[in-house]
Structure 1
Amino acid sequence: MTAPATPRTPSPGDLARRRPPKPTPPRPAAATHRPSTAPATTPVPVAAVDAVSPGKLVRREQFKKFFLYGLRISRMHPHSRLVGHDLLWRATNAGAIAPSRQPSVEMLADHTGLDARQIDVALANLRSRGWLVSRRITEGPRAGRDGWGLAVPAVVLAELRSRRSSDPMDHAR
């Protein structure tokens, strides 16, 4: 006679195989118009050029505050946000960086602790996303040269405004 087998715990290989779910047929288009159930703060799709164009602040909105909060909610790499934050402290209240205060790549690398190549990438990232713009200097001894200016992209500004209107305790006012 054989001895009874001792019970063992099942392994995942012992479990039955599941069948893949059946594909669902596509739904037919609705014939009647239904009102949208989406909240009013749903962002409207914007063209890429309009997304990175500088937003226009209204009278009571402070540039530095909106730039700082915009950097915080942006999905940029932390190095780019760090460089943007450093440039913010060099800028005027309108976002212009005086030609005498424009840092070199080496100076930014020294102040942020990043490598010069990382600074180059961060500056390119800020420019491509609309946070850093080049402006032609029109007066003074540096007239004709390019100067830097900071801007809050239009899409980020719209997002900040929608957050501000939906959250009464938000401090971005």
Structure 2
Amino acid sequence: MTTPVTSRIPTPGDLAALRPAPKPTAPAVQRTAHRPAAPTAEAKPKLPARPRLSAEEAIAPGQLKTEEHFRKFFLFGLRRSGMPAHARLVGHDLVWRASHATGRISPNLNPSSEVLAHATGLTTGQVDVALQVLHTRGWLHHRVLQTGPRAGQSVPRLTIPAAALEDIRAWLSQKPATGLAR
């Protein structure tokens, strides 16, 4: 007994064989000749002029206003910073170990590279490089304790660079309010 012939669902290869190949378009030189002119400076909206920060001022710790929350602004800044992923991951881990209001990491909770490597899944070498990136870009500062049993010990402190803080404020001022209070 034979089975009846049923139509099968066509594959992309079957459909490609049915359609003719597209004809080549004109060379790129001819296409660019018909483009409209670029908008002039008058057509672009004027942005408010911001003072240009020097490199030293840009990585200096920014000053939060009283209504600005450190952890929220630090996380916004980390996401918008353009740093390598490993540095952002280590910074994200450190922010949860730090004080939510100040960014200070307690000397008792000061994590070693091995602890951060275990927590993030990176190697200790990758963690050391990430810490160095955070430090050179102004997101991590080391302070030396002056008093107490750990006097002279260096502990990290998270900071938001001034340039990143300005960027966050500009971004938040342009973002429409969602009505969620956080």
Identity %: 44
Query: One-letter code of the match for 1:47?
Result: S
CA distance in 1, matches of 2:27, 2:103: 64
Judging changes above 3 Å, is the alpha-carbon distance between structure 1 residues 99 and 16 closer, same or farther for their aligned structure 2 residues? closer
- The answer to whether structure 1 residue 97 and structure 2 residue 105 are counterparts is yes
CA distance in 2, matches of 1:46, 1:17: 41
Query: Where does residue 69 of structure 2 map in the other structure?
Result: 62
Query: Where does residue 52 of structure 2 map in the other structure?
Result: 45
Judging changes above 3 Å, is the alpha-carbon distance between structure 1 residues 104 and 37 closer, same or farther for their aligned structure 2 residues? same
Query: Where does residue 10 of structure 2 map in the other structure?
Result: none
Offset, 1:55: 0.2
1:8-157 to 2 correspondences below 5 Å: 37-40=45-48, 43-92=50-99, 93-157=101-165
Q: How many residues align structurally?
A: 150
CA distance in 2, matches of 1:136, 1:115: 27
Q: Deviations over 1:10-44 (max 9, x none)?
A: x98xx88959x9xxxxxxxxxxxx9x95212x544
Report the RMSD for the aligned CA atoms in angstroms: 2.8
1:160-171 to 2 correspondences below 5 Å: 160-169=168-177
Q: Deviations over 1:82-138 (max 9, x none)?
A: 000010011012111011101111111101000111111100000000000011112
Moved over 6 A (4+): 170-173
Q: Contact 1:65–1:172 (CA<8 Å) still a contact in 2?
A: no
Judging changes above 3 Å, is the alpha-carbon distance between structure 1 residues 172 and 65 closer, same or farther for their aligned structure 2 residues? farther
Q: TM-score, normalization: structure 1?
A: 0.75
Q: TM-score, normalization: structure 2?
A: 0.72
Judging changes above 3 Å, is the alpha-carbon distance between structure 1 residues 151 and 172 closer, same or farther for their aligned structure 2 residues? farther
CA distance in 1, matches of 2:27, 2:85: 47
Offset, 1:168: 3.0
Instruction: Describe the SS at the equivalent of 2:131.
Output: helix
CA distance in 2, matches of 1:161, 1:54: 15
Q: Contact 1:133–1:151 (CA<8 Å) still a contact in 2?
A: yes
Specify every segment of 5 or more residues in structure 1 that has no aligned partner in the other structure, as ranges.
1-8, 22-33
Query: One-letter code of the match for 1:137?
Result: L
Offset, 1:140: 1.9
